[in-house]
A = this chain, B = another copy of it.
Amino acid sequence: MPYVNIKITREGEVTAEQKRRLIEGATNLLHDVLGKNKATTVVTIDEVDTDNWGIGGVPVTEIRKKGK
């Protein structure tokens, strides 16, 4: 009965199919590595605005502008 939370920046378009693959993949990972029960594994995905995510002390919005 694991709980997995995935946080990603909200950029480009993340499709429902890609989210489905994240949910399925994380659930399979816990099953394959630890034998966890898939039926009670919960996965949530948070999409965070690039203004609201920073790394190295700099917002992702600025990092993207610099073409990184």
Copies in the complex: 6
Output the least CB separation between A27 and chain B (Å): 4
Number of residues of chain A lying within 8 A (CB) of chain B: 51
B14 engages A7 (CB within 8 Å): no
- Give per-residue flags for A53-65: 1 if the beta carbon is below 8 A from chain B beta carbons, else 0: 1111111111000
A residues near B (Cβ < 8 Å) are 1-9, 14, 16, 18-30, 32-34, 36, 38-48, 51-62
A42 to B14, CA, bound (A): 19
B57 engages A24 (CB within 8 Å): yes
The answer, among B2, B34, B55, B59, for a CB contact under 8 Å with A16, is: B59
A55 engages B29 (CB within 8 Å): no
